[in-house]
Amino acid sequence: MNHLLHQISWHQYLSFAILAAIIYYALLILRCYQPELRNLQRRISGEKPGEDLQALQFQPGQESAIAEPVIERTEKPYTEEAIADTDLLAGKLKACIIRAADQPFAPAVLILQLQQVLQDHQYIAAADRPLINRLIVNECDKTGTALLTEEEVDQWWER
């Protein structure tokens, strides 16, 4: 049994191990970061992000096999101010949850703090409320500060 490993030197072993690790991580990067790599390739080549989608756009004279109903949007598009307000609220909520994660377990105190932040930002659009509710639930689950549901969090907006 001892004579089996004498034919392989440490240099050969380490070279093979490093080569195997490089191949493994290259395949992992190609599999997991494919969209990011495509975007990087487009940026390097100078291609605009939407150029590959032009082939999918409707050309005049083209007939569609399936007639889809036309839905008009009655909502106003998001303004930069509304997006900034929503981002500010999300940042405040995350900071509050992270602070609570560093302190002893006290979900009642955290809930009061989150309710106060939501009360200060009641003007946030109704379309953003489910996203904010989901953010609070996910952050609390990640940090283990409180066990909440989106319905509970949604009720805090009216209090």
Q: What is the pLDDT of residues 52-62, one digit of tens each?
A: 555 555 556 65
Q: Does residue 23 form part of some domain?
A: yes
pLDDT at 82 over 80: no
Whether residue 150 sits in one domain with residue 97:
yes
Whether residue 90 sits in one domain with residue 144:
yes
pLDDT 10s digits, 109-137: 888 888 888 888 777 766 778 888 888 88
pTM for the model: 0.47
Q: Does residue 58 form part of some domain?
A: no
**Could you give the 3-state DSSP secondary structure of residue 56?**
helix
Span 13-27, average pLDDT: 97
pLDDT at 16 over 70: yes
Whether residue 35 sits in one domain with residue 87:
no
Minimal CA–CA distance to 143: which of 84, 103, 98?
98
Whether residue 98 sits in one domain with residue 40:
no
Q: Does residue 2 form part of some domain?
A: no
Domain around 140: 80-155
Whether residue 89 sits in one domain with residue 34:
no
At 49 the pLDDT is 54
At 51 the pLDDT is 52
Average pLDDT, the chain: 78
At 70 the pLDDT is 52
Whether residue 151 sits in one domain with residue 89:
yes
Q: Does residue 50 form part of some domain?
A: no
Q: Tokens for 127?
A: 């379309």
- Contact of 136 with 149, CB cutoff 8 Å: no
Q: Does residue 56 form part of some domain?
A: no
Q: Tokens for 28?
A: 């992992």
What is the tally of structural domains in the chain?
Answer: 2
Q: Does residue 138 form part of some domain?
A: yes
Least trusted range by pLDDT, from 27-36, 59-68, 149-158: 59-68
Task: Considering only residues 102 and 71, tell me which one the structure prediction assigns the higher pLDDT.
Answer: 102
Minimal CA–CA distance to 159: which of 115, 113, 109?
115
pLDDT at 138 over 70: yes
